[in-house]
Amino acid sequence: MTDTTSGLTTSDGRPLKAALLAAQSKARRRAFLLVAPLLLFVILTFILPIAYMLQRSFENDGFSDSAPQLAAWFAEHPDGSEITEGAYAALVADLATMQANKTPGQAGTRINYTVPGTISLFKAAARKAEDLTPPYKEALIALDADWAAPKLWAAMRSASTSYSADFYRVAIDQKRGEAGDWARGAERERIYIYLFVKTFILSAIITLSCLLLAFPIAHLLATLPMAKSSLLMILVLLPFWTSLLVRTTSWIVLLQQQGVVNNILVALGLIGDDGRLVMINNQTGTIVAMTHVLLPFMVLPLYSVMKTIPPSYARAARSLGATSWTTFRRVYLPQTLPGIAAGSLLVFILAVGYYITPALVGGADGQLISNMISFHMNKSNWSLAAALAAILLVAILILYWLYDRLVGIDRLKFG
Amino acid sequence: MALPTYASPLEKVWYYAFRVICAVVFLFLIAPILVVIPLSFNAEPYFTFTEKMLAFDPAGYSMRWYDTLLTLGSSAPDGPRDSGWWSATWESATWIKAAKNSLWIGFWATILATSLGTLAALGLSRPEMPYRRLITAILISPMIVPIIIIAVGMSFMFAKACVDSGSALGTILGPFLSNRGCLANSDLGVIVAHATLGIPFVIITVTATMSGFDQSLIRASASLGANPRTTFFKVIMPLILPGVISGALFAFVTSFDEVVAVLFIAGPEQQTIPRQMFNGIREQISPAILAVATILVIVSILLLTTVELLRRRSDRLRGVTGR
């Protein structure tokens, strides 16, 4: 067998196997060359910025740049060594430089991430750094006893390197304990984990309400005759094509206290004029507006699965004596599961990272983690914003991987 | 799904209840979009229907908010509406400038995303394509990764992505970059960002069109003596054109509607319509926003109609019947 195939040659005398392999690899190269320009573009404009952001989340410049002498002292003396006069002298020299460069606030802010309340400590000490005389240890502690705190020195040590994982610790609500080790922050300082959990819970609620609303209309669209369903499909696709800001504005118009929904309810006498419902600038606003915004992403995958379910199955079940509820539960629903999985995952993924709608209609308690990232970007807390974004990215990538395994990315379609 | 003759009374009730539920959901989908249209003609600066509006009194309606769109920020808002007024409006009115910026950025982002995306989709739908799944996953990911993360990464990166204005590259790209020759705060930065966000839509629509494409047509064309270029323009292109145009429209809408990346990487020069709306809603919401919203709804209705017609044409060309 091997002999016969290896004996075959093309007309120009090459072995057939080699010629086929060459032709195949040429075809592969050609296909890849078509994709290459876009792949390069996406690597440059998408992968690289995200890689840069990940690097930024470890970058530790706020303190290390302005305290070079102390950093040098930390480099010479390994973790656990006693904080000597030399360290205090280096710190005082750095504080004097900070005062000259106007950076004590910046350095204090960096330490403040892990030991709250240190911004004023740094500012006050930097103002007086020029006038301090040796021994510096006693002089600084006389200024403020906090300068002897082990947690402060542990925080300064980890902030003095150019890269550190401190921001991830901060992003999961950890602070320096009294002895300088990591511990959970005080109750009122635990904001990020709470916000991550809230983001996931709100996204789950939004996904569920999308599913509940989308299921009946997807079923209707899949079972109606073509002409009617095409017409109704436009009602699903129009929101999909309408600007997100327009839809968000509409919900402000509808839900605000002097808005259309409240006016209708008052006119119908369901609520009193003084009992107008607060439906915007809170979690309700976020949930309602985002359900509306993401609903088409649930309807379309559900519809495309329901379209393929033959109606004869349900009829067969009925003819065998099943009640309509049993038919739905045992025959129809299991067949729609791929659509439910596809739609739910897509809506959940999109909801977790949403920014615009919560920012505009979420008020104080309807904010999601994206809004916190934006908040820290505006406050120039770059590294913390990057660390929060990195955690969110990991969550999204896990969901994306799940989506690819369960549904397949090539199944994504619009309309 | 007509009601079967064997249906029990309970099922008959459920049949009609189901229709009512569906009607309510459709109302939920469409009402928020339609409600802004009449409200944008409100004569009063309110966001709700006034009594005059409900009584269909003409005095309750006016075009004043559309007029605001022309006069806000204009260098000569008052005075007779002659050619001088119109040219001042065209040059300086805030919303007109925003519209021009949006169209300019959207146009180039669409060109970039569609040309690169179509080529890539052609490669991805070839059976020989290596690592297809991985590469598709990478190319689709700008749609899945939250825009805030992309915007944060880009804002770090684009601030550092600068060219020397004296260099050859700086001379070519100069007009598109910021004053300091950086991607941040520049038209090109926003165009590149929007193109990246639009690429997944182009890939998805074009590969969907290609899925019904008979690859043997390429071999047939080659066997009849056509070179790859002729095959592309005479055989492949006419068949996938509807998909390409839909993809381009998706890419354009993505750019036209995008605000997060603009907020993070653009400077004051790149004031687009969504950014203007976002700031307007955050600061002091005026019914002028509703006038813009109405115009955008009409634009989206036109776009949807175009895409639907294209999709039907594409299905017909490829011999696919039904949805």
ipTM of this predicted complex? 0.87
Beta pairing partners, B42: B61
- pLDDT higher than 50, residue B70: yes
Q: Are residues B15 and B137 in the same domain?
A: no
Are A34 and A95 part of one and the same domain?
A: no
Reported confidence tier of residue B322, pLDDT bands at 50, 70, 90 = very low
Percent of chain B residues topping a pLDDT of 70? 97
pLDDT value of position B1? 54
Please check whether residue A280 lies inside any domain of the structure. Answer: yes
Note whether residue A204 is domain-resident: yes
Choose the weakest-confidence range: A1-5, B179-183, B215-219.
A1-5
Residue of A50, A359, A400 lying closest to B149 (CB–CB): A50
A415 contact residues in B (CB cutoff 8 A):
307-308, 311
Interface contact flag, A249 B135, Cβ < 8 Å: no
Q: In chain A, which residues have their Cβ closer than 8 Å to the Cβ of B14?
A: 324
Domain boundary residue, one of B59, B86, B113: B86
Residue with tokens 């649930």: A298
Question: pLDDT digit string (tens) for A149-164?
Answer: 888 888 888 888 888 8
pLDDT per position as a tens digit, B206-238: 988 887 778 888 889 989 999 988 988 888 888
Q: Using alpha carbons, list the distances in angstroms from residue A227 to A43, A223, B317, B322.
A: 44, 11, 20, 10
| pLDDT reported for residue B323 | 39
Segment A101-142, tens digit of pLDDT: 888 888 888 888 888 878 888 888 888 877 877 787 888 888
- Residues B129, A32: C-beta atoms closer than 8 Å: yes
Query: B18 vs A216: CB contact, 8 Å cut-off?
Result: yes
The answer to whether residues A222 and A153 belong to one domain is no
Q: Are residues B108 and B217 both part of a single domain? A: yes
Query: Does residue A269 share a domain with residue A378?
Result: yes
CA distance readout (Å), A292 to A35, A297, A351, B118, B308:
36, 10, 12, 31, 22
- Residue B283 covered by a domain: yes
On the question of pLDDT at B5 being above 80, the answer is: no
**Residue at B43: amino acid letter:** A
Mean of per-residue pLDDT scores for chain A: 86
* Distance, C-alpha A298 to centroid of its chain: 20
Write down the pLDDT at residue B2. 64
Say if CB A203 and CB A351 are below 8 A apart: yes
CB of A251 within 8 Å of any CB in chain B?
A: yes
pLDDT tens digits for range B233-254:
888 888 888 889 989 999 999 9
Is B127 found in the same domain as B73?
no
Q: How far is B79 from chain A (nearest CA, A)?
A: 32
Q: What is the β-pairing status of strands A174-176 and A182-184?
A: antiparallel
Q: Specify whether B67 is located in the same domain as B158.
A: no
Total domain count, chain B:
2
How many CA atoms, within 13 angstroms, populate the side-chain half-sphere of residue A146?
A: 14
Contacts of B49 in chain A (CB under 8 A): 260, 263
pLDDT of residue A413: 67
Say what the pLDDT of residue B318 is.
67
Q: Within 13 A of B32's CA, how many CA atoms are on the CB side?
A: 27
Please compute the mean of the pLDDT values over residues B58-68 and round it to a whole number.
85
Residues of A in Cβ contact (< 8 Å) with B51? none
Mutate to test the interface with B, among A229, A246, A400 (most CBs of B within 10 A): A246
B222 and B312 together in one domain: yes
Domain that holds residue A70: 61-189
Residue A218 confidence (pLDDT)? 95
Q: How confident is the model at residue B148 (pLDDT cuts 50, 70, 90)?
A: very high
**Inter-residue contact A345 to A236 (CB < 8 Å):** no
A-B C-beta contacts closer than 8 Å: 281
Rounded CA gap, B252 and B108, in Å? 9
Give the one of B14, B33, B150 whose C-beta lies nearest to A46's C-beta: B150
Residue A172 contacts B, CB cutoff 8 Å: no
Query: Between B22, B48, B153, which is nearest A263 by CB?
Result: B48
Looking at chain A, the whole-number percentage of residues with pLDDT higher than 70 is: 97
pLDDT in tens, B101-121: 999 999 999 999 999 999 999
Residue B179's domain comprises 97-317
B320 has a pLDDT exceeding 70 = no
Considering the domain architecture, whether residues A269 and A381 belong to the same structural domain is answered as yes
Chain B residues whose CB is inside 8 A of the A227 CB are none
Please indicate whether, in this complex, the C-beta atoms of A252 and B144 are within 8 angstroms of each other.
Answer: no
In chain B, which residue's Cα lies nearest the Cα of A296? Answer: B29
According to the model, what pLDDT value does residue A202 have? 94
Phi, psi values for residue A117, rounded to 5° = 90, 20
Compute and round to an integer the Cα radius of gyration of chain A: 31
Residues A103, A240 within the same domain: no
Does any domain span residue A53?
A: no
Q: What pLDDT, on the 0 to 100 scale, is given for residue B78? A: 76
Domain co-membership, B231 together with B271: yes
Which among A42, A232, A389 is the nearest to B152, CB-wise?
A: A389
Residue A240, SS3 per DSSP: helix
Q: What is the mean pLDDT of residues A197-204?
A: 94
Question: Residue A300 carries which side chain, given as an amino acid letter?
Answer: L
Q: For chain A, how many structural domains are there in total?
A: 3
Say what the pLDDT of residue A1 is.
Answer: 45
Q: In whole angstroms, what is the distance from residue A358 CA to residue A294 CA?
A: 13
Name the H helices within A323-379. Answer: 324-326, 333-352, 356-361, 369-378
Range A229-255 average pLDDT: 90
Domain boundary among B67, B86, B105: B86
List of chain B residues whose C-beta atoms are within 8 Å of the C-beta of residue A226: 322-323
